[in-house]
Amino acid sequence: MLAVHEALQPLPAEAVPPAIEVNHLTKAFYDSEGDRVTVAVSDVSFTVARGEFVCIVGPSGCGKTTVLRILADLEEQLGGTVKLNSATPPAMVFQEASVLPWLTVAENIAFPLSLKGVSRVEQDARVRELLALTGLTDFAKARPHQLSGGMKQRVSVARALVDDRDILLMDEPFGALDEQTRLVLQQELLRIWETTGKTVVFITHSVDEALTLADRVIVMSPRPGTLVANLTVPFERPRDVVEMRRDKRFWDMTYEVWRLLASPVGA
Ligand SMILES: Nc1ncnc2c1ncn2[C@@H]1O[C@H](COP(=O)(O)OP(=O)(O)OP(=O)(O)O)[C@@H](O)[C@H]1O
Ligand SMILES: [Mg+2]
């Protein structure tokens, strides 16, 4: 048995298991007769460390959403293994805007808590925090039709954060937004991530967005999606999403990722 002082020693870094472990993941979809097969993902392996921000980029239809849905346990893989080392199930922000139109902003954010039967007082306190964090305090009582697209996205992000899950899975959450709103939300997301220390897997079509946000960028090939590269993003934190664009390394790396996307076999 360990002495108390030994048990309290912090684990060496290499002993902390990654938050997410994906090994040789493969997924195919069959049509209802079972004669047409779409191989969406083929032999993808990667890990995500606790507190790490990882972006996945790749062409449309290469299986990015499929990987995320498997991580969220919304889809079953055909082969390989997926392991989440976390006390809570992951929170997911879906590719399509997903706000409930009949609820106010505050009620939308509180929704996961009300499902869990959390007390009203606790719900209100938590929702107030999230409204402030996502800059929506003045719109707490507004309904979704009174919001801009960017504000609706912020509601989705706030809802995903409200019950404090360790892992956040985000599927192109800013994909439908104009460039300016995107920059604002990227900066907000980085601030939220820096304050909360969550593990994030964020899908995007935008190389630029991936390099702005991530510690690491995973590049996938066209369908069936395989892993083309796993790149460390060297920019220091905290990041300023506008100032970063003055850094030559940012454009060199953008070029490098575009080259990988253009020649997916890594030639
Ligand atoms: N439920 C499903 N049934 C059948 N095929 C599916 C299903 N879901 C996804 N697919 C197929 O799997 C492939 C990968 O789809 P997925 O949604 O993961 O791509 P994606 O990389 O997220 O694309 P996009 O960037 O356009 O969102 C596509 O060819 C798609 O047609
Ligand atoms: Mg998708």
Q: Is 258 exposed, middle or buried (0-12, 13-18, 19+ CB in 10 A)?
A: middle
pLDDT tens track for 244-263: 999 999 999 999 999 999 87
pLDDT tens track for 26-62: 999 988 877 778 999 999 999 999 999 999 999 999 9
Residue 6 has pLDDT above 80, yes or no: no
Nearest-CA residue for ligand 1 atom 11 is 40
Q: Tell me what pLDDT residue 122 has.
A: 96
Q: Ligand 1 pocket: which of 66, 76, 77 to mutate (most atoms <8 Å of CB)?
A: 66
Q: What is the number of the ligand closest to the CA of 171? A: 2
Does 60 contact ligand 1 (Cβ within 6 A)? yes
Taking residues 187-199, report their average pLDDT. Answer: 90
Nearest-CA residue for ligand 1 atom 27 is 60
Q: Tell me what pLDDT residue 266 has.
A: 41
Query: Look-up: residue for tokens 């509180």?
Result: 110
Q: Residue 139 — very low, low, confident or very high, per pLDDT cuts 50/70/90?
A: very high
| Helix 179-196 with 149-162: angle, nearest 10 deg | 10
Residue 267 has pLDDT above 50, yes or no: no
Residue 2 has pLDDT above 70, yes or no: no
Q: Ligand 1 pocket: which of 32, 37, 38 to mutate (most atoms <8 Å of CB)?
A: 38
Question: Which is nearest to 54 in space by CA: 174, 253, 257, 214?
Answer: 214
Q: What is the number of the ligand closest to the CA of 66? A: 1
Q: Residue 9 — very low, low, confident or very high, per pLDDT cuts 50/70/90?
A: low
pTM given for the model: 0.89
Q: Specify the ligand 1 atom closest to the Cα of 27.
A: 12
Domains and CATH numbers, the chain: 46-75+86-90+166-267 (3.40.50.300), 98-164 (no CATH)
Rounded to the nearest 5 degrees, what angle is found at the Cα of 32, between the Cα atoms of 30 and 26? 15
Does 66 contact ligand 1 (Cβ within 6 A)? yes
Q: Specify the ligand 1 atom closest to the Cα of 58.
A: 21
Q: Return d(Cα 15, Cα 136) in angstroms, integer.
A: 40
- Note the Cα 154 to chain centre separation in Å: 14
